[in-house]
């Protein structure tokens, strides 16, 4: 996916078409996730045609994973927010799309999805210098979206009223790590990894498989220290690349670079609890955005030029703003 979008797109019109297709599909996904979490529809996917458990409160849509949907929508929020702040499209339409995506993120019923949206929005507004306006309009959007999606939010928050004080799924996560994964990482198995597949067969009859719900441990389980160091290098290279492109280009390539940077920060933070880099849907979208940000075939638009004038108002020279960074 990375190579495809890096090497095939050749014009700025093609990049813009890709972004609009992304936002349109994300809006559909957001609506499906919200309706499913409210229990109004039952949606299967290619991997899970039918649901065997109650999906009320969680919207997995066609990805059959509320976490994956949350990542996909968060990365899309980053894209539409950059386009909005840079006035790279009809602002009213972009604002409406952003509202639908935030609503869909709440509809996933996943705390990680809500955290991901907060992270990508924070990174984008910090880069674009909109920090002062951030609390005002983000708070307004969040309140409106929360009012619409309150049935979903209340369902998820109800887990904290249990006798243990936390949702039962959190206790199950800790139990799986303590009893099934950490013992197998002992004996220096964490140095080179245990095996590529992190899914274990369950010994109980009420479930079939057990998932490794820790992004950090996933690296050591699958590939050990070499894989973890490779990820560290990848993060460093990607942050450096996206920072350079986002500052140098004011077109859609630069907008995608900033969105990719925000998505990577989200992945870094959330990898503490899950492996988000390899999730279907969200993981694929991340590498698509990264490929577009690294595209070398779409020409760089000419830099904006400011005419420098003397005190009398006569033009004396042209100054290319940002020309050095573009070169």
Q: What is the mean pLDDT of residues 276-300?
A: 93
Lowest mean pLDDT, pick from 28-37, 147-156, 193-202, 281-290: 147-156
Look at residue 314 and tell me whether its pLDDT is greater than 90. Answer: no
How many CB atoms lie under 10 A from the CB of residue 288?
A: 20
Q: What is the mean pLDDT of the chain?
A: 82
Q: Report the percent of the chain where pLDDT is more than 70.
A: 76
- Give yes or no for residue 64 having a pLDDT over 70: yes
Residue with tokens 């390899």: 278
pLDDT on residue 310: 42
pLDDT of residue 305: 46
What is the residue whose two structure tokens read 């004996």? 187
- Of the ranges 83-97, 180-194, 298-312, which one carries the lowest mean pLDDT score? 298-312
Predicted model pTM? 0.82
Q: Is the pLDDT of residue 320 over 50?
A: no
Q: What is the pLDDT of residues 222-273, one digit of tens each?
A: 999 999 999 999 999 999 999 999 999 989 999 999 999 999 999 999 998 8
Q: Is the pLDDT of residue 324 over 70?
A: no
Share of residues in the chain with pLDDT > 90 (%)? 49
The terminus-to-terminus CA distance of the chain in angstroms comes to 27
Task: Kindly tell me if the per-residue pLDDT of 326 is higher than 50.
Answer: no
- Please say if the pLDDT value at position 159 is more than 70: no
- What pLDDT shows up at residue 110? 84
pLDDT of residue 274: 87
Least confident of 95-99, 162-166, 200-204, 254-258: 162-166
pLDDT of amino acid 133: 66
Over 60: is that where the pLDDT of 4 sits? yes
| DSSP-derived 3-state class of residue 57 | coil
User: Which residues, other chains included, contact 166 with Cβ-Cβ below 8 Å and sequence gap of 6+?
Assistant: 159, 160
Dihedral sign for Cα atoms in the order 155, 159, 163, 168 = positive
**Which sequence spans correspond to the domains of the chain?**
2-161+223-306
| pLDDT of the residue at 301 | 78
Backbone angles phi, psi at 307, to 5 degrees: -80, 125
| 300-312 residue pLDDT tens | 877 654 434 444 4
Q: Which residue has the tokens 């013992």?
A: 183
What is the mean pLDDT of the segment spanning 174-198? 91
Q: Is the pLDDT of residue 143 over 60?
A: yes
Question: What b/e string do you get for 79-90 counting C-beta neighbours within 10 Å, with b at 16 or more?
Answer: bbbbbbbeebbe
pLDDT at 204: 84
Mean pLDDT computed over 15-27: 96
Residue 216 and residue 123: Cα distance in Å, rounded?
Answer: 22
Per-residue confidence (pLDDT) for residue 308, from 0 to 100: 43
Quick one: which of 243, 252, 190, 260 has its CA closest to 221?
190
List pLDDT tens digits, range 103-114.
888 888 788 888
With left for phi above 0 and alpha for psi between -120 and 50, is residue 87 left, alpha or beta?
left
């Amino acid at each position: 996916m990375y190579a495809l979008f890096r090497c095939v797109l050749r014009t700025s019109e093609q990049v813009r078409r890709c972004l609009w297709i992304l936002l349109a599909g994300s809006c559909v996904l957001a609506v499906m996730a919200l309706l499913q979490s409210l229990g109004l529809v039952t949606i299967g996917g290619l991997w899970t045609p039918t649901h065997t458990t109650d999906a009320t409160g969680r919207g997995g849509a066609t990805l059959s994973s509320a976490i994956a949907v949350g990542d996909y929508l968060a990365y899309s929020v980053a894209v539409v927010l950059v386009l909005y702040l840079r006035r790279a499209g009809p602002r009213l339409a972009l604002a409406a799309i952003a509202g639908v995506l935030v609503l869909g993120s709440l509809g996933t019923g996943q705390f990680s999805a809500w955290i991901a949206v907060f992270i990508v929005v924070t990174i984008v507004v910090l880069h674009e210098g909109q920090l002062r306006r951030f609390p005002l309009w983000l708070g307004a959007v969040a309140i409106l979206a929360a009012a619409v999606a309150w049935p979903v939010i209340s369902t998820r928050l109800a887990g904290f009223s249990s006798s243990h004080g936390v949702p039962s799924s959190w206790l199950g996560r800790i139990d799986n790590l303590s009893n099934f994964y950490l013992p197998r990482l002992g004996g220096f198995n964490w140095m080179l990894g245990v095996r590529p597949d992190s899914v274990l067969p369950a010994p109980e009859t009420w479930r079939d498989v057990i998932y490794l719900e820790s992004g950090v441990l996933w690296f050591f389980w699958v590939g050990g220290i070499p894989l973890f160091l490779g990820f560290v290098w990848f993060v460093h290279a990607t942050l450096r690349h996206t920072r350079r492109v986002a500052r140098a280009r004011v077109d859609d390539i630069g907008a995608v670079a900033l969105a990719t940077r925000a998505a990577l920060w989200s992945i870094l933070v959330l990898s503490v609890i899950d492996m988000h880099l390899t999730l279907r849907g969200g993981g694929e979208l991340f590498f698509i955005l990264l490929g577009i940000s690294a595209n070398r075939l779409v020409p760089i638009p000419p830099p904006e030029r400011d005419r420098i004038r003397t005190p009398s108002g006569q033009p004396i020279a042209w100054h290319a703003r940002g020309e050095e960074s573009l070169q």
